[in-house]
Amino acid sequence: MAVFAYRGLSGEGRNVTGVIDADSPRDARVRLREQGIFPIELSAEAGAEIKPERSLSPFSRKGMPASELGLLTRQLAALLGAGVQLVDALAALSAQSSRASVKRMLSQVRERVREGSSLADALAMHPKVFSELYVGMVRAGEQAAALEAVLERLAEYSERQSEFVSKVRGALTYPVIMICVGTAIMGFLVTYVVPQVATIFQQQHAALPFATQVLIGLSSAITNYWLELLLAMVVIIAAIAFGLSTPRGRRLYDSAMLRAPYLGPTMIRIICARFARTLSTLLASGVQLLPAMDAVKGVVTNGLLRDAIEKSREEIRQGHGMGQTLAQSGLFPPLLIEMIRVGERSGELESMLERVADNYEREVSHSLSQMTTILEPVMTLGMAAVIVFMMLAVLMPIFQLNQIMQ
């Protein structure tokens, strides 16, 4: 089935535009007339044939940022709560959207719902925007006749994830900018300034200090062999990428990341926060534990932790508790395990997971704040040390030349 963009006149004589799914242009015109629209222009959207594609990540939605997805979900929940029919609510969201891609996507979802498809099935045709987790929760809401409540939870979930990711990015922005700026400055000095100064020293045939010789040698290596160095860097990056694409290489990387000082515990907290938040949202939306455990694996980026969750899921199927099975892996923090056990005993697993997610997000935010507080002076001192070394390497021969000339 293809997608056609149209421009036409409504029964009241107003100009209307949109998109429609049809097998052919003739079929599109027939369907438009059935809706009371007289088509004036009709064109097939390039590459717009609707085929479900597998999304690579449940959170990295290329089609829409998490903040926009949360706002869209909340607006849809508000319209449904006000008594607006689903088809009309989707039409209203499509009409108010300023982005052509979002407008087109919502029009396609509306068309499929109008044809009798469920909202979950219609959303599943756009995996770059709606993850399997999102679609699964919508499907559970439709089955439980609680779509509005589920959409509210999804909106809150998307907003929390967006806020959490923003905090992480904000904490890492300053160190990344410092590294980029420092590298650019050092590159300019080594490739342009130092060669100019080295030419002056060579003309004087003066004995150079060791620091100056090191700096000139580094500058000469970079300026004379920059192509070889660039190729070597590309080869190294390609080799690392290839290694990470293999199961063994990825497992070694995941294991090393978990054992890395400071970085490992921080990564575990981030993953556990996502795991707890997602599982809590799924359970609160009416999804059963085993399907929820299967869906939540998508938010776990570390292969070792993901395998532990899958193993736990299989043992839960055999009647064991989740806290007990996760504890056997030895990878999950004691706080998460204990909170899950308390939730299982009290029958309040969702609320316990919500609390532990809040706790880990606070810990990650505090940890990243501490990291940036430490990194700022360390990086400043490091850059100052490099600059002082370069200044001494350049100025010491100049002082020697002055003494000789005097």
Q: By the 8 A CB rule, do 358 and 365 touch?
A: no
Asked if the structure places residue 58 within a domain, the reply is: no
CATH of the domain at 138: 1.20.81.30
Domain identity same for 190 and 327: yes
Instruction: Report residue 247 as tokens.
Output: 């199961």
Asked if the structure places residue 50 within a domain, the reply is: no
Please identify, among 127, 160, 193, the residue that sits at the C-terminal boundary of a domain: 160
Residues in the chain: 406
State which residues of the chain have pLDDT below 50: 46-61
Domain identity same for 313 and 358: yes
Asked if the structure places residue 129 within a domain, the reply is: yes
- DSSP codes of every residue in 197-214: HHHHHHHHTPPPPHHHHH
pLDDT of residue 238: 92
pLDDT of residue 105: 85
Asked if the structure places residue 213 within a domain, the reply is: yes
- DSSP codes of every residue in 37-69: -EEEEEEEPTT--------S-SS--SSS-HHHH
Asked if the structure places residue 170 within a domain, the reply is: no
Q: By the 8 A CB rule, do 257 and 302 touch?
A: yes
Asked if the structure places residue 49 within a domain, the reply is: no
Alpha-carbon distance of 68 to 74, in angstroms, equals 10
Asked if the structure places residue 332 within a domain, the reply is: yes
pLDDT of residue 161: 73
Domain identity same for 96 and 237: no
pLDDT of residue 55: 38
Domain identity same for 197 and 135: no
Domain identity same for 34 and 137: no
Alpha-carbon distance of 361 to 26, in angstroms, equals 54
Domain identity same for 79 and 15: no
pLDDT of residue 56: 33
Range of the domain at 9: 2-44
How many structural domains does the chain have? 3
Domain identity same for 155 and 179: no
Domain identity same for 121 and 246: no
**145-149 long-range Cβ contacts below 8 angstroms, 24+ apart:** 146/285, 146/286, 147/80, 147/86, 147/119, 148/77, 148/80, 148/81, 149/285
Domain identity same for 353 and 263: yes
Domain identity same for 246 and 319: yes
Domain identity same for 223 and 103: no
Asked if the structure places residue 74 within a domain, the reply is: yes
Please identify, among 96, 131, 160, the residue that sits at the C-terminal boundary of a domain: 160
Domain identity same for 103 and 243: no
